[in-house]
Structure 1
Amino acid sequence: MENPAVPASPFRRDDGSPDVDRILPGHFVSGVDYDALRPHGTSEWLIILTVEGAGCAWTDSATVAIPPRSIVAFRPHTPQHYGTDPAVGRWDLLWAHVRPRPEWSALLEWPEAAPGILRLELTPVIAERVATALRSAVAHHGARLRQGPAFAMNAMEQALLWCSTQSPRRDGLDPLVLAVVEHVGAHLDRPHTVASLAAHVGVSASRLAHLFRERAGTSVMARVHQMRISAAKELLELTDLPVAHIAARVGFPDPLHFSRRFRQSTGSAPTGYRAGSRR
């Protein structure tokens, strides 16, 4: 049965000419009788995220489960047979037909669950971020604004970027590490310590230190310092703020200490770095 929610050729107009859009996203809630079959697939990728309920994809030799917080991608021209998991009876899914930009190829390096069908299990935090990005793609596309397709493609890229943090074929990002990095990024000016960051994510300081070494390849405070220096470089390049103000913004109350650490990290004093970036 053809999928009533997703056109078989979303990148073709009625007259058969190519459409200018490179993405067609949507949201669909199905019942127990939902079953979609396209024996020859489509010329673009089809990506499906389960929000609630469960779905399945079937091949001649395998059944690929698509439970909550899992996402599958059908390669172009891969036969598509998928539908609601009969044992669950309901499937709430976000989907997108998309022609990926060339630079997205690395973002789709997911494990192959069946020939031509890739699948990822996402953590609750990452699944929600992927869902938010896909909902944004749906909203932008549906608004029919002149820049809507571009915004939808950008939202799709964001979804794939979050997915790539969970791919075992790439450097996965542990949820605790992600929570720490995001907290530090939002509050660079605070006097962070391993103990304070561990308390923020609800683990012991020794556990957080071990996770960072194992998953991020560096110490907690080395990552904090890296983020501070990176932010300082951007502010020096893009603003005319005094060095003392930049130092305070990125967590160095003492400008002299900031200048010393900045020179150690970059080989230049802050003022010299700023001058060199504007030549």
Structure 2
Amino acid sequence: MDDGWTPQLGEGFPGQRMRVLPEPLVAHARTQPATAQLLVTDVGFFPRAVRHTRTRPHGAPQHIVLVCAAGSGSCSMPSGVHQVGAGSALVIPAGTTHRYQADRFDPWTIWWMHVTGSAVGGLFEAMDVTVQRPVVRLGDASRVVALIDTVLRRMERDETASSLVAAAGAAWHALALIAAGRSTAAERSAPIESTLEFLRANIAERVSVTELASMAGLSTSHYAGLFRRATGFGVLEYQTRLRMASARELLDTTDRPIGSVARQVGYPDPLYFSRQFRKIHSVSPSEYRARKSR
């Protein structure tokens, strides 16, 4: 199960850290409720891993998540050769033939973990990774690295059930962050991100798709497609949900009349605001406030 390498020195890479669970412990932990959904079996940190390479003709029994914090490398899979740069993650499903290696001139610094469990497939699906697209650009690489470091610290501590549960929790958070912050050039390009920031800063202002596309320097149809891929929503629905999130906060934290809340989030007509609020929450604003006050 260990993450092998061809190191620069006989003892490995200076400053390296790694932990591998014994196979009997893995088998037991996979039957326990707290670690059956997600279990970290191997985890490590290889700084400036000169000549690091690993070949698995039959893949690994666990899923592999490798985060490149600096430098670069590549991975050969049945789908081709995939480049892995700083600020990105390589995700390899269990059983997938692969060979990865550090760049010869700019070797990577990597944090990696092997994970298994019933929830991993769903988390990978949320990341939108496949054998054809195994590399994910991270939205916040430093936070993901910090979480993998937490996993490693817990497993360096001991192999008790509490440490394995804590490691699983940090790993789940790391995978969820990768999913939430996935940022490929096609999905979360700078023009799309800048218009999202504009919408968040101007919640009460209704902005058309055409206006946003013009801000991004894209055609309306191209922008609309990229926007939906980036957020999962159409432009108007995204704006409505931003407004309703702000309305919820006002209903929760103030005693302002419904009409005042509606105007604050960009709805001059309180009745129309109530209809839109009900579409999102299945209750009217007044019913929502009454339930929260109980």
Give % identity.
Answer: 15
The alpha carbon displacement at 1:68 in A equals 3.8
Q: Does 1:156 align with 2:167?
A: no
1:94–1:134: 8 Å Cα contact kept in structure 2? no
Partner of residue 242 from structure 1, selected from 255, 259, 264:
255
Report the counterpart of residue 83 of structure 2 in structure 1. Answer: 65
- Asked if structure 1 preserves the Cα contact closer than 8 Å seen for 2:129 and 2:136, the reply is no
Whichever residue aligns with residue 241 of structure 1, its letter is T
CA deviations over 1:158-209 (Å, ceiling 9, x no partner): 113322x5497xxx34443334334544x46676867xx97xxxx9547378
Counterpart amino acid of 2:239?
V
1:105 CA displacement: 4.4
Q: Which moved more, 1:255-264 or 1:32-41?
A: 255-264
Alignment size in residue pairs:
254
- Where in structure 2 are the equivalents of 1:33-182 lying within 5 Å? 33-58=51-76, 62-86=80-104, 88-99=105-116, 101=119, 103-113=122-132, 118-120=133-135, 122=137, 127-129=138-140, 131-144=141-154, 148-149=166-167, 150-163=169-182, 166=184, 172-182=187-197
Q: 1:263 aligns with which of 266, 271, 274?
A: 274
CA contact (8 A) 1:138 1:152 kept: yes
8 Å CA contact 1:56–1:84 kept in 2: the answer is: yes
1:230 to 224, 228, 245: 245
SS in 2 for 1:139: helix
CA–CA separation in structure 1 for the residues paired with 2:24 and 2:250: 50
Counterpart of 1:106, as a letter, is E
SS for the counterpart of 2:82 is strand
CA pair 256-47 structure 1, distance change in 2 beyond 3 A: closer
User: 2:139 touches 2:178 (CA, 8 Å); kept in 1?
Assistant: no
Corresponding residue of 2:4: 2
TM-score (norm 1): 0.66
3-state DSSP of counterpart to 1:46: strand
What's the secondary structure of 2:67's corresponding residue?
Answer: strand
Q: CA deviation at 1:265?
A: 1.1
Shift of 1:228: 0.8
Q: Report what 2:8 is aligned to.
A: none
| Amino acid across the alignment from 1:230 | A
Unaligned runs of 5+ in 2: 6-11, 30-34
Any idea what the Cα deviations from partners look like across 1:95-121, whole Å, max 9, x if unmatched?
2222261532422542434xxxx4235
Q: Which amino acid aligns with 1:28?
A: F
Superposition CA RMSD, Å: 4.4
Distance 1:110 1:13, change over 3 A: closer
User: Matches of 1:158 and 1:254 in 2, distance apart?
Assistant: 29
CA displacement 1:106-161 (0-9 Å, x = unmatched): 22542434xxxx42353xxxx341x1332132232244395632133212221133
Structure 1: runs of 5+ lacking an equivalent? none
SS at match of 1:94: strand
CA distance in 2, matches of 1:277, 1:66: 48
Contact 2:123/2:175 (8 A) holds in 1: no
Q: Please report the TM-score for the alignment, with normalisation by the length of structure 2.
A: 0.63
Give the distance between the partners of 1:160 and 1:254, measured in 2 at CA.
29
Cα deviation, residue 51, structure 1: 3.3
